[in-house]
Amino acid sequence: MLYKITYYIFKLFPRLKRWFWKKWYTIFANKVSNPDLRFMNYGYYSDDLNIELSAEEEKDRYSIHLYHHVASQINLTGLKVLEVGSGRGGGCSYVSRYLKPSEMYGIDISPSAVDICNNIYNIDNLTFKVGDSENLPFEDNTFDAVINVESSHCYASMDKFIQEVSRVLKPNAYFLFCDLRRDIYIQEMMDSINSNGLKLISKTNISTNIIEATIRMSTDRKESINKLKSGWFRNVLESFAAVEGSKVHQSFEDGYLHYISAYFKNKK
């Protein structure tokens, strides 16, 4: 019930939502400074997907799968790519090394998260910087592709974000996207993207893939969360991570939350 009330309040006061998530990710980065934690997404499972990973990366397999599923919708080889909402940087790192863009940029609204990324990663074609989804710190027509993974639900204005995405994308360039919404807001989200400079190419409901991944990751994530000293923070993190039995996980199971992946072409 508290989760649903919070969702309703954020719908009424989008600027409050933006403030809350910036604070949350800054607190999270400061409290959970473990450099081995490089992904925060819900993951993706498919029988058809089995990427060859290093032993170090194997623990993040399903989180990496989500990035691969979204980012490989086009060929990124040799392209200039931006991720908005890069978080702990694991997705940017994977894309830059495995999918071979010429340049990869990650921006995040949390300075603490960006500091962690700059301390962890030393990859020639990868750069992290602080940035706002509604005011992207780049010139017009800069990128061949923009990636946004499980981040847009935190933004105050989806319309402003997509307008900025269209602005920094080159003509006929691509927006690669995935995120969750309440069932009744899925069409609103899609309309917002389509009406602000982008054209839908493909859309898939991947909720079942997300549910299966969260189940497969639940044991490891619970063990990691239980190592934290703060009891209240552990409870919040379990729901945040959608571990099996949490409110968020149950919301996916009940169909209250849906998870969509899609890609779009810039119309300008």
**Structure-token pair, residue 103:** 């340049």
Amino acid letter at 54? S
Look at 50 and 38; give whichever has higher pLDDT.
50
**Has residue 247 been placed in a domain?**
no
The pLDDT of residue 29 = 60
Question: Could you give the number of structural domains in the chain?
Answer: 1
Range of the domain at 129: 2-32+61-206+257-266
The pLDDT of residue 77 = 98
Question: What CATH number is attached to the domain comprising 118?
Answer: 3.40.50.150
- What is each CA distance from 250 to 169, 209, 253, in whole angstroms? 37, 14, 5
- What is each CA distance from 105 to 43, 79, 179, in whole angstroms? 22, 11, 20
**Has residue 45 been placed in a domain?**
no
| Among candidate residues 265, 212, 250, 268, the one with its CA nearest the CA of residue 73 | 265
**Has residue 244 been placed in a domain?**
no
Residue range 226-247: mean pLDDT, rounded? 74
Q: What is the DSSP letter of 86?
A: -
**Has residue 55 been placed in a domain?**
no
- What is each CA distance from 263 to 7, 108, 112, 133, 183, in whole angstroms? 26, 21, 30, 18, 20
The pLDDT of residue 2 = 45
* Alpha carbon distance 17, 159 (integer Å): 15
**Has residue 240 been placed in a domain?**
no
pLDDT per residue as tens digits for the range 91-114: 999 999 999 999 999 999 988 889
**Has residue 38 been placed in a domain?**
no
**Structure-token pair, residue 120:** 């962890």
Burial state string for 69-85 with b = 16 or more CB within 10 A and e = fewer than 16: bbbebbebeebbbbbbb
Residue range 56-69: mean pLDDT, rounded? 96
**Has residue 145 been placed in a domain?**
yes
**Has residue 91 been placed in a domain?**
yes
* Alpha carbon distance 214, 65 (integer Å): 12
- Among the ranges given (101-115, 167-181, 222-236), the one the predictor scored with the smallest mean pLDDT: 222-236
pLDDT grade for 246, boundaries at 50, 70 and 90 = confident
